[in-house]
Structure 1
Amino acid sequence: MTDYHGYATFQEFLDNVQYSRIGILSYEKIFGHTYVSTGGEDTTNDLCSALSLGPDSSVLDIGCGIGGSAFYLARKYGCRVEAIDLSKNMLDIGMERLKEQVEKAGLREDQVRLVLADCTTVDYPEASFDLVYSRDTILHIADKATLYQRCLRWLKPGGQLLVTDYCCGEKPWPDDYAAYVKQRGYHLLTVPEYGAVLSSVGFTDVEAIDFTDRFRRALVDEQSRVVGLREQFLKDVGEQMYQYILDGWGAKIGRVDRGCQRWGLFKARKPL
């Protein structure tokens, strides 16, 4: 039986433990408006600058959070984005942000579709998308090979895969890091192991890049932002939550510096 830490489903675990509404809004203050992913729009711009997309392109964003990357891709390239997430709290906020994007940023209503869905069970017709995109989401999934087989089928011939994900250092891990990974419900691979999964299911031109230096720079910037927003956090969530967030960023930097936590950037294509 799958362990969801006392909750009936993984979705309930996410919405009640990791992604409560107040937690998501706190993260958004740190990452930037519409974002709950490392580096916010800065890293999104860096990662997406070389993509080959246009107004006729279709994108699947797996683990879209509150919509930041989906909105960015739709604005930048004029493409259509199917944006899915398993957290209802994320998507409730995402729908609020989508309305803002339509009203204030010139996004068309039909460009981004936010959907409550599990990427391991949702299905799409073969060759539906020009890009499958995901930011720090697939770390929750144990059977990555099966998911990426599905992604490969959903992509058009020559279609692109662009993923960032939490990765890990070589085992054995320190006890405290192993306990952290278990508590968070993560399933982590080293960067080379992750790249090997992509190659094994049939992707070509696989690039498995250890992007941890960029991750650490983003974490340090975000930590400084938390300190700078102290008074706002104290007003909105109180001293205890503020200290929890600040300690969390310090702990992430510490895990990176110890070599336990890595950040992988993965690029690949579906064969023509």
Structure 2
Amino acid sequence: MESTNRKEDNHNEYETFQKFLDQKQYSRNGILRYEVIFGKDFVSTGGLGTTKEFCRMLNLKEGEKVLDVGCGIGGSAFHMARDYGAEVLGIDLSRNMIEIVKERQNEYQVPKVSFKVADATKAVYSDCSLDVVYSRDTILHIAGKDLLFQNFYSWLKPGGRVLITDYVCGPHENHTDDFKEYVAQRGYHLLTVQQYGQALKDAGFKNVQAIDKTSLFVDILRKELDAFAEKRKEFLEKFSLEDFDAINKGWNDKLERCGKGDQKWGLFYAEKIVA
């Protein structure tokens, strides 16, 4: 318990959660080294491959308005705009993420996509103004998921869809001490797959799918590690050996947490159906 408290104190040393993200977890160097293992323009599990799969689930249509919550460095937003003609607003709390993605947007000049620094828990959008809310491995940072999902529901038009992937967890009573320390250090607020799905239902969503995708997560982690090992020489031309070892350790730690049943990965899809 004392160790967990020390981890929490490390997080609380930062004046705001935004500063914790930008100065610690998502420093510019940290983001760019993550990109090497996730793939160009991505800092979320599976990179372009999973993005293509999940976007197909949404059946996006040209001109639909998408809010990408936790857009990172823009991979999903660029894909939805380029391949589907969607109008995408990407928001992220990390100033470093938005700085990088705006650099990419200036380079790519993809139409119908924009990005801004914003806190999803404080954002205000007009009722029935969006067709899709999309979020990849971001809402784990947010404690008040119930209120956030209520906002998603309000913002979506009738027939609107939400698609989320996120870190989730096994039964809370079974968590190891190491996992508790990890969650406290990162400032995560994790639910089980079932709790996550219920929170969407409680917000009013219908046709809710709450799917445990941990086996896919594990397969992706292993493939990413193998590919990353092949990029070692290229990686070390831009980053340090310490950076390389940190990513290797981080991915292997995820595999260990999944193996123990502590950490899981969920896919959540839901619709706003108005009678």
User: Structure 1 length as normaliser, TM-score?
Assistant: 0.95
The answer to whether structure 1 residue 117 and structure 2 residue 124 are counterparts is: no
Shift of 1:217: 1.1
- The match for 2:55 is 48
Q: Look up the equivalent residue of 2:94 and give its one-letter code.
A: S
1:265, 1:101 → 2: CA distance? Answer: 29
Query: Shift of the alpha carbon at 1:5?
Result: 2.5
Identify the residue that residue 64 of structure 2 maps to in structure 1: 57
Give how far 1:47 is off. 1.1
1:11 partner amino acid: Q
Q: In 2, distance between residues paired with 1:98 and 1:221? A: 29
Note if contact 2:210-2:266 (Cα within 8 Å) is conserved in structure 1.
Answer: yes
Please show how residues 4-83 of structure 1 align to structure 2 within 5 Å: 4-83=11-90
Q: How many angstroms does 1:76 deviate by?
A: 1.4
Aligned-partner SS, 1:178: helix
Give the number of aligned pairs: 265
Q: Return the TM-score normalized by structure 2.
A: 0.94
1:107-147 Cα distance to aligned partner (Å, 9 max, x none): 22xx1110100000010000111000000000000110000
Paired with 1:166 and 1:20, the residues of 2 have a C-alpha distance of 21
* Percent identity of paired positions between Structure 1 and Structure 2: 50
1:167 aligns with 2:174: no
| Structure 1 match to 2:101 | 94
Which whole-Å deviations, capped at 9, do the CAs of 1:228-260 have from their partners, x for residues lacking one? 111222222211121111111111111111111
What's the counterpart of residue 197 of structure 2?
195
Matches within 5 A, 1:202-213: 202-213=204-215
Letter in 1 for 2:255: I
| 1:90-117 superposed Cα distances (whole Å, 9 cap, x missing partner) | 0111011112322xxxx22xx1110100
Residue 218 (str. 1) matches residue 225 (str. 2): no
Q: Is 2:156 the partner of 1:152?
A: no
Give the aligned partner of residue 140 of structure 1.
141
Q: CA RMSD in A?
A: 1.2
Structure 1 gaps, min length 5 = none
Deviation of residue 209 (structure 1)?
A: 0.4
Aligned-partner Cα distance in 2 for 1:238–1:101: 28
1:232 match: 234
The 2-side partners of 1:260 and 1:50 are apart by: 28
> 2: distance between equivalents of 1:14 and 1:175?
24
